[in-house]
Amino acid sequence: AVMNGKCINIVANLWNSPEKDTWKTGALAIGSSEACMLGGVAAWLRWRKKRQAQGKPFDKPNFVISTGFQVVWEKFAQLWQIEMREVPLTLEKTTLDPEEALKMCDENTICIVPIQGVTWTGLNDDVEALDKALDAYNAKTGYDIPIHVDAASGGFILPFLYPEKKWDFRLKWVLSISVSGHKFGLVYPGLGWVCWKGKEYLPEEMSFSVNYLGANITQVGLNFSRPAAQILGQYYQFIRLGFQGYKEVQYNSLQIAKYIHSEIAKMVPFVNYSNDVVNPLFIWYLKPEYAKNAKWTLYDLQDKLSQHGWMVPAYTLPSKLEDYVVMRIVVRQGFSRDMADMLLGDINNAITELEKLEYPTPTRMAQEKNLPVEAKMFNHGGCRKTVKNKKNL
Ligand SMILES: *Cc1c(COP(=O)(O)O)cnc(C)c1O
């Protein structure tokens, strides 16, 4: 319990918590999913209490997020019956547009959720710009819509690599932040953290006490029993690596991701989705002019790479961009520069083989014929993956 409390303190401090108490306000979770749920529920309960006090209806809560959301937010919306309002991502606007987000807000908005390290693209929503726009909006409307930052990946990257960048508790409306310990927190699954800017933002109703374990245990969370190993793992990593150690690990991962990104850019079939690599993950796709005449798709490349043991997923981007089939690489601690060269070699070899094809592959034909088809794509578990009928872009 003490190590857990210390981990929360360390995470809160990394995010520039203004809290002065010995123990800062936060909770342990099984991953970002649980951590996001807790942040979302707290925002919902705060909003509800305020509405009740004003004698206003509180039966139609909503929250605002970009279409780049991770599936947890769909779960949050469904399980708690809170309407999810989605700001579309487009090729021109690749991250959450603050003005568009504000257009979707009203008196029933419990929070806006920018993402640091968008799962689909690796990019960061501009929380500082959102905070500024929201401040003006809240002043004008009299609402006080807060921000929960889903920093599943970015929460353990930004404090080390971009300490000057304001995305955290330094911003006025950021009241809670969540992160995965098992992504760039460098711990095995499942571990997540959520922190609030102060005690007053964590509704009391979310703390539950039990006494049947021989002591009064107060807990905030969806799960009850859980392994403690990850907490020890996190605490160990924190004190073993220290700030400088984490910084070096993340810097190294970012450099390797940037290296692969620049090599991908040199390969004839490919174009990177973004010129920036802000987190150690990025995506790319087939150049439209190349794809037109190609006999293969990125699904075929995924298949070829998996034969060499690489898990490089091909997938379609979220709605409005769903015609784009992209491929993603995530670089973490342990993925060395040597491995990067091996992977790049395998990608090059796969392209050479695919270019020799005489006839189009099933996934390519499916795109060409505009027919829905289930292609045999083998992933980890040998499961079939449905390849929807998408244009070969
Ligand atoms: C991975 C991820 C989640 C879910 O995290 P888990 O730790 O897998 O539960 C939520 N949000 C974002 C942005 C993510 O990338």
Given this model, what pLDDT does residue 369 score? Answer: 79
pLDDT tens column, 333-356:
999 999 999 999 999 999 999 999
The mean per-residue pLDDT over the stretch 284-308 comes to: 97
When mean pLDDT is compared across 17-21, 233-237, 387-391, the lowest value belongs to 387-391
Across the chain, mean pLDDT equals 93
Say how many Å lie between the CA of residue 202 and the centre of ligand 1.
Answer: 21
Tokens at residue 250, please?
């993340």
Residue type, 233: G
- E strands in 58-197: 62-66, 83-87, 109-113, 147-150, 174-180, 192-196
Given this model, what pLDDT does residue 389 score? Answer: 47
Given this model, what pLDDT does residue 371 score? Answer: 57
When mean pLDDT is compared across 51-55, 63-67, 221-225, the lowest value belongs to 221-225
* Nearest ligand 1 atom to alpha carbon 117: 13
Which of 38, 7, 18, 26 has the alpha carbon at shortest distance from 111?
38
Residue 34: band (very low, low, confident or very high) from pLDDT cuts 50, 70, 90: very high
Given this model, what pLDDT does residue 368 score? Answer: 81
pLDDT tens column, 253-282:
999 999 999 999 999 999 999 999 999 999
Tokens at residue 303, please?
């298949």
Which of 32, 19, 23 has the alpha carbon at shortest distance from 3?
23
Separation CA 366–CA 358 (nearest Å): 16
Given this model, what pLDDT does residue 218 score? Answer: 81
Residue 383 pLDDT > 70: no
Asked whether 33 lines ligand 1 (CB < 6 A), one says: yes
Residue 164 pLDDT > 80: yes
Say how many Å lie between the CA of residue 318 and the centre of ligand 1.
Answer: 16
Say how many Å lie between the CA of residue 238 and the centre of ligand 1.
Answer: 21
The mean per-residue pLDDT over the stretch 179-188 comes to: 98
Residue 323 pLDDT > 80: yes
Share of the chain above pLDDT 70, in %: 94
Asked whether 68 lines ligand 1 (CB < 6 A), one says: no
Residue 379 pLDDT > 70: no
Residue 250: band (very low, low, confident or very high) from pLDDT cuts 50, 70, 90: very high
Residue 373 pLDDT > 80: no
Residue 375 pLDDT > 50: no
Residue nearest to atom 14 of ligand 1 (CA): 152
Separation CA 185–CA 188 (nearest Å): 9
Residue 393 pLDDT > 50: no
The mean per-residue pLDDT over the stretch 158-173 comes to: 98
User: How many CB atoms lie under 10 A from the CB of residue 284?
Assistant: 21
- E strands in the chain: 26-29, 62-66, 83-87, 109-113, 147-150, 174-180, 192-196, 208-210, 217-219, 270-272, 281-286, 314-316, 325-330
Tokens at residue 50, please?
């305020």
Q: What is the DSSP letter of 116?
A: B
The residue whose CB lies within 8 Å of the most ligand 1 atoms, and thus the one to mutate among 37, 70, 84, is 70
